[in-house]
Amino acid sequence: MPNFQLAEWLISDAEMLRHDEELTRIKASLGEGGTDLSANNAQGIEDAEAGDPAPAGSTQEVAAKVQYLYGDDLGHGRVNWKAKPTHPDDPKSDLINKDSGYVVRKTSQGVNHPWEMHSVIVRSPHIMKILRQILSDYPGISPAVDHLTLDKPFKPMLHHWDDFCQAVERSDDFTKQHVEGFVLFLKEELAPYFEVLKNADAHGIIEHQNLWTIFPPHQLVWTDLKQHHSIGEVEQTKLDQFRGDFVVAYKQTVWDGFKLMAKSGAVGIPAFTGTRAIAGLNAIPLLRKPDAADIGKVVLDRGRKFLGLLGCHYREYLGLGSFERPDDMLERPQIEWEAVSGRVVLDAALWNGKVGDRGEPPNADSLPKTDREISICSPMIKGYSLTSKKWYNLFVDNVSDIVWDDSFSGLVLNNTEKDLLLGFAQTKLSMTTDFDDLVRGKGKGVIILLSGPPGVGKTMTVESSELGSDAAKVENNLRQALVYCKEWNAVLLLDESDIFLQKRSATDLQRNELVSIFLRLLEYYDGLMFLTTNRIKAMDPAFQSRIDLTIHYPDLSESSRARMLHISEAAVKDAITVKSCLPIIRQAYLECNEGGISTGPRLVMAVTDSGDQGQWLTGKYPTKGFFGSKFSSNFSANLNKGLPATISTISLYSAQTGQLEAVVEANALTAIKTAGSAAVATELLSRPDSSRLAIIGSGVQAFDQVLAICVIRDIREVSVYDLDPARAEKFIGFLKEVDGFSAETKVAQSAEVAVSEADIVCTCTTSRKPVFKGSALRPGTHVNAIGS
């Protein structure tokens, strides 16, 4: 490795002059001519050091001493500082003047290259006292050392410049005089970065290489996580040398099931050329967000909600969830996202494999107290979906309390047996005694068998979770399900359990093994379990002593079957909302694209000469076990009679048996599905910052369209146009009665006026003529044409 020249200016504590002016003066006093930086002047330096001390009180008393040093690069950042370019095994140890307050070091790559700033070593106890005050918690800086090396571009000093200046201002006169030269030096070196921050403040722009200036440690950083605010505290920043990303490392508070702890995360800002708007970056200092105050309120409320979910909780969920999928080609598992809906159990302890005693819950003294501490709580929490039987990281924002329905009262079963069932369940779930069988651990469970032919409602008595169909994994899955039920005090339904209950034989050894495994697990299960079977007469005799209650479901009468199969319009509205359907619609479109859902051709039949007609749609969903048809009658004259113009009915059938499973009054379902489909498209295609919505037509479809769009975009203004202004006013009145609807509303004078101001347009009309001119749309406006 060739030698390269290095120079150090040793500047005393009390320097009053700029270092370049002082350098010229000292060179002149040494007779160097002020230009020669070669090794020939080393003797002159030594002579200068050995000269008589300056008279007390003179300017030279505070003047800097100068040394010209050479260094051999030994690799790994090591340099031997020498007065002459000698062999690296003969270093000097006393090259730095012990009286200097700070050492400014510059490097050069050779004679024909300029000198460049390298670093500064602070040795003055007076300066160090101030730096300890302002940099005590700065990453990589220890307050215990007696000297400090700051590398260019002096990030800690830029990030704490105001604190530094205030600390100097608070100092006594001697200290102010002592550090004045250091302040002047830093001002000169940091001047370009002060300009960077000035442009960032005034114009909101920055260059990639200067991103570090706006991300000081301990500042709050905002990132977008699947359209959820994520706030963390900056730990450090660095440039990814391989990818070129500027990486912001941050920490958030997470819950592992036992304690709150800090967890590190990172976000990379991809490289870009020139300047870019800070507001358009994927990671932004929270204070530089225009809506920082609004975001602060949201994350503070969410943080409090997060702290309220510590422990084990049973909740409803609707949104995306992430899970890890092992990848044999990569060292770390891949993070995947999918729609999650339905009931979940939030239990980080069980996620981490903790069964049994979980210790004491966190007390109030150990919880975050300040708004800042609460705001950096993780936006996600661990949960288990009872629908997909998988663990996920779930968004706290999308967790809600369960609205319990009264499905048990609708069960088609005589009241005596219903009361018996409910009594067994309530007794078991409320048991607090530690009663055991003669053998410890046995006899604590309650096992209820529901028997009867298919389609009589056995499974509907309780809501089920699938166990799995792979025989090799059944035991493991069953053990896991039993553990979960015990930990969560849950009811387990083992549907279609004939393979476990059937009498053992001498010819089917594999099934015999499953029966034996199931018998053994039942012995030690101490929860509440429901089993369903169609073949009670073929049940193995060994189960008779394990089952506490058997209820037989007889064949349903025609009236009972009709009562069970019919789902009314009111029941649909009570059961589902546009918001609850969005993840399901997203998933359905994905499966349709991948061939998991298929539809048949539309069949249309004219009914009257005036254009009234009937339409049939068919489809199948094999993975869910259903196929079905939708029939719609379209009679436009009904509007004049006060009747719906369209009436829809859906019939669902079992893909296994072909039996009718449900008949659904589908008008409300159609409106919700249409609005949800439009919302999914809008989420993918409209600008994320869209805030103004125009609705053309104020009929039945329009209401759900507004609510759906408000779910996926932060709509601040809704403009409604209808041929009948009175109907538009009435429509707005209905919107204002919806809980949580806060957008400003107005009736537009024309369709063109409505769409000209909108970011998103929804046409909810059956008009066969254009309702507005395309020229009225602004560039980038998203349009949903409903009914076109």
In 3D space, the residue among 429, 400, 546 whose CA is nearest the CA of residue 488 turns out to be: 429
479/509 same-domain check: yes
Nearest 5°: phi and psi at 674? -65, -45
637/754 same-domain check: no
Q: pLDDT class for 510, splitting at 50, 70, 90?
A: low
Q: Which pLDDT does position 48 carry in this prediction?
A: 32
* Any domain includes 277: yes
Based on DSSP, count helices (H) and strands (E) in the chain, helices before strands. 21, 34
In 3D space, the residue among 219, 214, 209, 217 whose CA is nearest the CA of residue 239 turns out to be: 209
Domain range for 17: 4-192
Q: Kindly give the interhelix angle for 471-488 and 509-524, rounded to the nearest 10 degrees.
A: 10
> For the domain that residue 459 is a member of, what is the CATH number?
3.40.50.300
359/477 same-domain check: no
728/663 same-domain check: no
Question: What's the CA gap between 341 and 261, in Å, rounded?
Answer: 28
* Any domain includes 675: no
Q: Which pLDDT does position 189 carry in this prediction?
A: 93
Question: What's the CA gap between 355 and 525, in Å, rounded?
Answer: 15
How confident is the model over 453-499, as pLDDT tens digits? 665 444 444 444 455 445 556 777 788 888 888 888 888 887 766 66
Question: What's the CA gap between 220 and 222, in Å, rounded?
Answer: 7
> For the domain that residue 745 is a member of, what is the CATH number?
3.40.50.720
Question: What's the CA gap between 7 and 119, in Å, rounded?
Answer: 11
Q: Which pLDDT does position 293 carry in this prediction?
A: 92
214/323 same-domain check: yes
Helix (H, G, I), strand (E, B) or coil at 531: strand
Cβ atoms within 10 Å of 466's Cβ, excluding its own: 13
Q: Which two tokens stand for residue 77?
A: 């950042």
Mean pLDDT of the chain: 78
Helix (H, G, I), strand (E, B) or coil at 452: coil
Q: Which pLDDT does position 434 carry in this prediction?
A: 47
Q: pLDDT class for 508, splitting at 50, 70, 90?
A: low
> For the domain that residue 601 is a member of, what is the CATH number?
3.30.1780.10
In 3D space, the residue among 516, 551, 536, 522 whose CA is nearest the CA of residue 447 turns out to be: 522
* Any domain includes 343: yes
DSSP for 719-748? EEE-SSHHHHHHHHHHHHTSTT---EEEE-
How confident is the model over 703-725, as pLDDT tens digits? 889 989 998 888 999 999 998 89
Half-sphere exposure in the Cβ direction for 400 (13 Å, CA): 12
Q: Which pLDDT does position 327 carry in this prediction?
A: 67
The reply to whether omega before 270 is within 30° of 0 (cis) is: no
Choose one of 401, 433, 463: the last residue of a domain: 401
Choose one of 401, 430, 462: the last residue of a domain: 401
Instruction: Specify the length of the chain in residues.
Output: 788
Question: In this structure, are residues 627 and 658 in contact, taking their beta carbons and an 8 Å threshold?
Answer: no
* Any domain includes 725: yes
Half-sphere exposure in the Cβ direction for 27 (13 Å, CA): 15
Q: pLDDT class for 415, splitting at 50, 70, 90?
A: confident
* Any domain includes 661: yes
Nearest 5°: phi and psi at 264? -85, 145
Query: Considering only 34-48, 378-392, 611-625, which range has the smallest mean pLDDT?
Result: 34-48
| Sheet strand arrangement including 78-82 | 78-82, 65-75, 4-12, 100-107, 116-122, 148-151
645/771 same-domain check: no
Name the strand (E) or helix (H) holding 709: helix 700-712
Question: In this structure, are residues 713 and 742 in contact, taking their beta carbons and an 8 Å threshold?
Answer: no
Paired residues of 207 in beta bridges:
275
| Sheet strand arrangement including 760-764 | 744-747, 717-721, 692-696, 760-764, 782-786
300/156 same-domain check: no
How confident is the model over 21-32, as pLDDT tens digits? 443 443 343 333
Q: Which residue has the higher pLDDT, 638 or 497?
A: 638
84/221 same-domain check: no
Question: What's the CA gap between 238 and 553, in Å, rounded?
Answer: 67
Choose one of 556, 583, 605: the last residue of a domain: 556
* Any domain includes 201: no
Q: pLDDT class for 426, splitting at 50, 70, 90?
A: confident
240/267 same-domain check: yes
Paired residues of 492 in beta bridges:
529
Question: How many domains does the chain fold into?
Answer: 5
Cα–Cα distances (Å) from 253 to 235, 287, 738, in that order, read 13, 20, 35
Radius of gyration of the chain (CA): 37
Question: In this structure, are residues 104 and 9 in contact, taking their beta carbons and an 8 Å threshold?
Answer: yes
The strand pair at 148-151 and 116-122 is best described as: antiparallel
Q: What 8-state DSSP symbol labels residue 695?
A: E
* Any domain includes 681: no
447/523 same-domain check: yes
621/581 same-domain check: yes
DSSP for 321-342? EEEEE--TTSSSPEEEEEEEEE
How confident is the model over 711-763, as pLDDT tens digits? 888 899 999 999 889 999 999 999 998 888 889 999 999 999 999 989 999 99
% of the chain beyond a pLDDT of 90: 30
* Any domain includes 674: no
Q: Report the C-alpha dihedral over residues 524, 526, 528, 530, rounded to 10 degrees.
A: 0
Helix (H, G, I), strand (E, B) or coil at 258: coil
pTM surpassing 0.85? no
393/435 same-domain check: no
Cα-Cα end-to-end distance for the chain:
75
